[in-house]
Amino acid sequence: MANAPSPVRWGILSTAKIGREKVVPGMLRSKELQIVAVASRDAARAAEFAAACGAARAYGSYEALLADPEVEAVYNPLPNHLHVPLTLAAARAGKHVLCEKPIAITAAEAEALRDVPPGIHVAEAFMIRHHPQWQKAIEIVASGQIGELSVVQVAFSYFNADPANIRNRKDIGGGGLLDIGCYALMSGRLLFGADPMRATAIIERSAAFGTDTLSSGLFDFGAGRHLGFSVSTQLVPFQRVQALGTKGRIEIEIPFNPPPDATTRIFVDDGTRLGGRNAREIVFPPVDQYQLQAEAFGRTVRGLAPVVGGIEDAILNMRALDALVRAGDSGRWEAV
C-alpha cells in the first residue's frame, strides 16, 4: 500500500520474562513495527536479547535507550515499582509508552502520569482488550442477546512459590491482586461497560512473602450488577470468565492467556439444558493478542486512532484495586 504509515520504531526496556516470552514474540509477527533497541542493566543480557529480536542496538542502561533518537515508542515490562518512574522518564524523553499492567502500585502513584508532556501517549498493556474473543463477548452483551447482564464471575490462578520471583516480593509490588486481580477487575469493567462503585474482599497473605496469595472479592457496579472473583498465586493453574444475564450467559474458556497459535472459543448459552448442553460455540482463528496490542498502540502513535487504555482509564483501575485492598484490611465495603 503506497500510503501505508512507516513502521513504528520501538525500544524494549529490560529483558523481563513477559517481554521475552509473550509480548516481543507477538510484536515480531507484525509488519507495522520494528524493534530497534533493547536495554537492560546487564549489557550482556541486552545484547543477547537484541540479537534474538533483530534489534540493531543494545544498551546497558535504560537511560541510554531513552536517549536514542531513533526510538519512537517504548515497551515497559519492568517490575511494578518501576512502571511509573520509567514511564515518566520515557515520556519526558519524547517517547510514547506502552506500560505493562498494573500501571502503578497505587492510584496516587498512577496520578503522577498526568504530568506526561502534551502529545505523548501512554497506555496500560491490557492485551485482552484487543483479542477478538473479548470484543465478541462485549458485542454480545451490548446487543442484548443474553438479556440484562447482572453477574460476572472470574477465576484466575497459578502456582508460584519461588521467593526470588518478583511476584512474591512485596517491596516491589508483588502479590496476586496486582498481578492477576487486575484482570478480574478489567473483566467486569469491559463487560459491564462501567466502573465499580464499591468493593469488599477477603485477602490471605503469605507468612513467608507478605504478599497476597489468595484473594476473593466482590465489586458493586450499581444497578444490580456484581463482579465476583477469586485469584491466587498458589493454586492449580486455571482461568475462566462467566457472564450471566437474564436470558443467557457467556463463558470465555481461556480469557487471559489464549494461545497465539491455536483456535479459541467462547460459549453462549440460553440455559435451557443444564451443564451447558445447549451452549452455542463461537470459535476464533489463531491470533496473537500481543501483536494486536502493539499494532493498536502504533496506530495511536501515528495519529490514526485514539489511545486505548490511557492514563485516566488506568487511574480508575488503580482506584478500584486500592478500594479492594482497603476492604481486605477493614472487613467492610469500601468506596472506589
* Helical segments of the chain, H only: 17-18, 24-28, 43-52, 62-66, 83-92, 107-110, 132-143, 176, 182-192, 289-301, 311-330
| Average pLDDT taken over every residue of the chain | 97
Convert the pLDDT of each residue in 169-198 to its tens digit: 999 999 999 999 999 999 999 999 999 999
Q: Where are the beta strands (DSSP E) in the chain?
A: 8-13, 33-39, 57-59, 73-76, 96-100, 122-125, 149-159, 198-205, 212-222, 225-232, 234-245, 249-252, 264-269, 280-284, 334-335
Average pLDDT for 220-237: 98
Nearest C-alpha neighbor of 324 from the set 255, 240, 227? 227
Q: What is the pLDDT of residue 4?
A: 80
Q: 0.75 cut: is pTM over it?
A: yes
Band (pLDDT 50/70/90 cuts) for residue 17 is: confident
Q: How far is CA 325 from the centre of its chain?
A: 19
Convert the pLDDT of each residue in 158-171 to its tens digit: 999 999 999 999 99
Sign of CA dihedral 271, 276, 280, 286: positive
Convert the pLDDT of each residue in 260-275 to its tens digit: 999 999 999 999 999 8
Distance between CA 57 and CA 260 in Å, rounded? 28
Band (pLDDT 50/70/90 cuts) for residue 150 is: very high
Average pLDDT for 211-220: 98
Average pLDDT for 94-118: 98
Residue 1 has pLDDT above 80, yes or no: no
C-alpha cell at 255: 480469557
Q: What is the pLDDT of residue 16?
A: 86
Q: What is the pLDDT of residue 286?
A: 98
